[in-house]
Amino acid sequence: LEKPQSLTTLKLTPRQVIEPLISFLESPSQAIQQLSSELLCHLLAQEHFQQDITTKNAVIPLVQLAGIGILNLQQTAVKALEKISLMWPKAIADAGGIFELSKVIIQDDPQPPHSLWESAALILSNVLRVSIDYYFEVPLVVLVKMLHSSNESTITVALNALIVQERSDNRSAELMAEAQAIDALLNLLRSHQCEEAAGKLLEALFNHVQVREMKVSKYAIAPISQYLLDPQTRSQSGRLLAALALGDLSQHEGLARARDSVSACRALVSLLEDQPTEEMKMVAICALQNFVMNSRTNRRAVAEAGGILVIQEQLLSSNSDVAVQAALLIRFLFSNHTLQEYVSNELIRSLTAALERELWSSATINEEVLRTINVIFTNFPKLHTSEAATLCIPHLVAALKSGNEAAQESVLDTLCLLKDSWSTMPIDIAKSQSIVAAEAIPILQMLMKTCPPSFHERADSLLHCLPGCLTVTINRGNNLKQTMGATNAFCQLTIGNGPPRQTKVVNHSISPEWKEAFTWAFDVPPKGQKLHIICKSKNTFGKATLGRVTIQIDKVVTEGVYSGLFNLNHDSNKDGSRTLEIEIMWSNRLCNDNI
């Protein structure tokens, strides 16, 4: 019957051949079982034998022989089952094939020949393809063992089954790790087999806190990093999932500070250099944040890998989320003096550009950029005198105007830092910075009125050190009559020892209208000084004093505008009927004609 011409000559149908062979498979004689299984295996090489319904009846005895533990019988029975596993997978499952084949796959003493093991794994994978329900009938340790197959289709099925089990049962992740699934998955990545599915399961396992606590996780950092650095790694999805796995591991502080985390930092920087997708940028940047947050060694590894410039470029990403995370990463990198040789004007310029871009493109404020600028100016005072710092100030002022309370608080802190350095930096730089910062005066005055008390001290300290202009407008006088003669009124204004300013003379009016403004420019607000206004009347006999007004200037610096009717102090004005209508304003705007 092993000769094809015999079947033709005898005109035997598959049923006529297979039915007696089934009875031989159930014989108590091992020799007969062996011969019948060998013959059946030979016949099943022909497709019409595989498809015949009678063959289905041979499944049960073949499954029993596969699990009998006698090597020769196992080999022939498994080989026969392999040939019909695509045609009759459900029959194999119903005959207890999942259990019996699992025994072969995990058999250790003695270990089955590799060809037998591969055949058993292939049959089981063909059965599992039929229904997801079968996934849960296979022990996890068997599925993990199947990851070592040289047959990619077997590996794929095992990975799919493991992924489904991990999603369905949180406890399964720890059991997979204990069954050495992580080592098997790392080997798959290393050999570039089933990279996407292997990466997906690996990332899912490391997403469990219990798995990250296991010792095996520590030794996974270096292989994953090497996979990302390997020029033969072509799978973009595999790279993304490997980066996600590193991100999961980095959430464990001990792992983030492990010796191998240096290689992870280099790999993630390399990923950012290699034209990554927006999603990959986010994953790499967030993982780097965790690695550098508590490790000086990792900060230096990022810098030495060229990461500072790479991350600076991400500040200008069209994706605002990427820009925010890049700013946060820079803040972590420069949260102390570890990288002081890498801090530069260019870094401030990049942060300023990111701030400007956000303001112009979406009218929103990137709070992380503001906090990062503040941290860098706090930790590296040498940058206060840089041109980049001076050029940053207008954008800080714009953020102070447009931002929410958190953004405004960061800006106030940064401006106060710079202000505190003006007394020790070269005069020309201090003056330039203060003039630019003076644009914030009206905003600071508004904050004094509208923002929480916690803002007041910083806003007030800035207002009292920024250069500005005091503008006094004499609008009109009221009831400036004299006992003798007509009133030809005018006003003289003086501050400190400066020369007086004088309004025009309005003739023959007890309610003169001047509407004249006078402006004084100050490098710093005139602390404690007073504005003196004398109202006089000019006639043929000389000048008669109608009264005086004295106003404390400090108040207007904070309030911005101070106006109203002021009584003219004079012996002849005891009833207070003589008044001047005056408006006083402190601002950053210069009126050059009247200074």
pLDDT band for 108, please (50, 70, 90 cuts): confident
Residue written as token pair 């009109």: 476
Count Cβ atoms within 10 A of the Cβ of residue 483 and give its class: 0-12 exposed, 13-18 middle, 19 or more buried: exposed
pLDDT, mean of residues 245-264:
95
Query: For the chain, what is the radius of gyration of the CA atoms?
Result: 43
Share of the chain above pLDDT 70, in %: 97
Quick one: which of 465, 447, 357, 361 has its CA closest to 408? 447
Is pLDDT at 256 greater than 60 in this prediction? yes
Q: What is the mean pLDDT of residues 28-35?
A: 92
pLDDT value of residue 244: 97
Domain ranges of the chain: 1-138, 343-466, 468-594
Region 37-55: mean pLDDT is 89
Q: How far apart are CA 367 and CA 555, in angstroms?
A: 32
**Structure confidence by residue, pLDDT tens digits, 77-87:** 999 999 999 99
Name, of 42-56, 192-206, 522-536, the range with top average pLDDT. Answer: 192-206
**CATH number assigned to the domain covering 1-138:** 1.25.10.10
DSSP, collapsed to helix, strand or coil, labels residue 510 as coil
* CATH topology classification for 468-594: Immunoglobulin-like (2.60.40)
d(CA 446, CA 357): 25
For residue 530, list its beta bridge partners. 552
Q: What pLDDT score was predicted for residue 363?
A: 58
| pLDDT tens string 458-511 | 999 999 999 999 999 999 999 998 877 788 999 999 998 889 999 999 999 999
Using left for φ > 0, alpha for ψ between -120 and 50, and beta otherwise, residue 319 falls in: beta
- 595 pLDDT higher than 70: no
Q: What was the pLDDT predicted at 511?
A: 93
How far apart are the C-alpha atoms of 246 and 203, rounded to whole Å? Answer: 8
Structure-block tokens of residue 196: 């996407």
The pLDDT score that the predictor gives to residue 540 is 67
Segment holding 301, helix H or strand E: helix 296-304
pLDDT 10s digits, 286-339: 999 999 998 999 999 999 999 999 999 999 998 889 999 999 999 999 999 999
pLDDT of residue 403: 82
DSSP H helical segments within 191-276, as ranges? Answer: 195-206, 209-212, 215-218, 221-229, 236-250, 253-256, 261-273
User: Given pLDDT bands bounded at 50, 70 and 90, which one contains residue 67?
Assistant: confident
How does pLDDT run across 159-210, given as a tens digit for each residue?
999 999 999 998 999 999 999 999 999 999 999 999 999 999 999 999 999 9
pTM: 0.83
